[in-house]
Amino acid sequence: MGQVSKDPIEFPYMRAEVVNALRSLSDPATQYSEWVGWGHLDLCIHILYDDTTVIPNPEASIGSLIHESEAPALDVLDTVLGPMIDDLGDVPDQVYLADHRWPSVIHAAANALAAMEANDPSPDGNDR
């Protein structure tokens, strides 16, 4: 996972949106119970690629949204999710969930989430 960073983040609320998007991308149960029919994947993609641009260029977000130690995991997520977006485009979430590459997205998102959560204080105020 890398070294834990204690450097402050410039936009913590936007960082929280990134964490929530990664949490959703890494949780198959949520995907099937909440996404199907609601287009939630589109929201996750917009948060990561458009609103924050932590993907496809996480290095540009170091200090403002992410810590340096988190960038490699976000790069990996882009290498599996980006080609799917290019190939499948704007189709229902179910198409993405049924794609043979989707388990790789779940795994990469879980790793990126773990990297980010390792740098965030726990809800009780203690470091993780």
**Is the residue at 5 inside a domain?**
no
Unique residue bearing structure tokens 């979430």: 93
Total domains, the chain: 1
Residue that wins the pLDDT comparison between 97 and 3: 97
The pTM (predicted TM-score) of the whole model is: 0.88
List the domain range (segments joined by +) for residue 59: 12-119
**Is the residue at 4 inside a domain?**
no
Question: Is the C-alpha dihedral spanning 112, 118, 120, 122 positive or negative?
Answer: positive
**Is the residue at 55 inside a domain?**
yes
**Is the residue at 68 inside a domain?**
yes
The contacts of residue 57 (CB under 8 Å, 6+ apart) are none
**Is the residue at 29 inside a domain?**
yes
Strand partners, 62: 66
Q: What is the per-residue pLDDT for 46? A: 96
**Is the residue at 43 inside a domain?**
yes
Q: What is the pLDDT of residues 58-113, one digit of tens each?
A: 999 999 999 999 999 999 999 999 999 999 999 999 999 999 999 999 999 999 99
Provide mean pLDDT across the span 19-46.
Answer: 88
